[in-house]
Amino acid sequence: MAPAKILVVDDDPAIRNLIHRFLSKQNYQMESAEDGKKALELFEKFNPDLVVLDVNLPDTTGYQLCQAMQNRTGVFVLMLTSRTDEADKIRGFNLGADDYITKPFSLVELGARVGALLKRQRVVQTAEQPCLDFGHLQIDPVRREVTLDELPVSLTALEFDLLYFLARHPGRVWRRTELLQEVWDYDYVGDRRVVDVHIGQIRRKIEPDAHHPKLIQTVRGVGYKFELEPSQNPQSTEST
């Protein structure tokens, strides 16, 4: 299997080179850019699997660049910034970022988060991961496709994994810490509201009324559960 390709975008040469060298030693293919213009040029040529993206750039913002890249492919985006404001983090997630690290950071932690994100595209699907059919909603884990009323639903890799995990356990209530361990696949040390943000994104895409959700319900003081309507009988089928 070919090594994953990672693009690092940061206007600070010391940080950019440090990340580049560290991840190169993990056997990833690496490219680096110091601004948005160069980043988009490399993005088109290099076609990375993951982008480590600084928020503050000389010619644009990481938020704008994240959105531009997400509009082109389903690339994973790990935001890197000195900002600690929760609103900045939520903005990044809303624009498609998959994870967020605040400077200063540990290279070991960065490596763990990069590995966890990339694992999502390398999981080998088995017969134990069937298609789920809820009538108007279908989830195919092999093709990683979701359809609602026969129309495709565009989800990020993490949104898909979160929805599929909840849908495989209808009626089961999951705490945020449990979802972080099961779906994010590592001990997330950041704000647990990352779960709330991604749940909100999924609701806006699959619920008729995201403010009064019927499928993904909040259990106050605990977490979330995927709830079937009384008329729904889930069917599991193997993908072909």
Task: Give, for all 240 residues of the chain, the pLDDT tens digit.
Answer: 689 999 999 999 999 999 999 999 999 999 999 999 999 999 999 999 999 999 989 999 999 999 889 878 878 999 987 766 667 777 777 777 888 888 888 999 899 889 888 887 644 444 467 889 998 999 998 888 999 999 999 887 788 989 999 999 999 999 998 998 888 766 655 556 778 888 998 999 999 998 999 999 999 989 999 998 654 555 555 554
Q: Which domain holds residue 111?
A: 5-122
**Domain stop point among 72, 100, 122:** 122
**Any idea which residue has 């975008």 for tokens?**
9
Question: Of 96, 122, 148, which residue sits at a domain end?
Answer: 122
Whether 101 and 136 map to the same domain: the answer is no
Whether residue 146 contacts residue 201, with contact meaning beta carbons closer than 8 Å, is answered with: no
What is the domain count for the chain? 2
203 contacts 210 by C-beta, under 8 angstroms: yes
Statement to judge: residues 25 and 64 lie in one domain: yes
Measure CA 212 to chain center. Answer: 24
Examine the domain organization and report whether 63 and 112 are in the same domain. Answer: yes
Domain finish residue from 122, 144, 178: 122
- Answering whether pTM is above 0.75, one says no
- Residues 156, 104 within the same domain: no
> What does the block give as tokens for 155?
């989800």
Residues 116 and 135 in one domain: no
Residues 101 and 148 in one domain: no
Helices (H), the chain: 13-24, 36-46, 62-72, 86-94, 107-122, 157-167, 176-179, 193-206
Q: Are residues 206 and 174 in the same domain?
A: yes
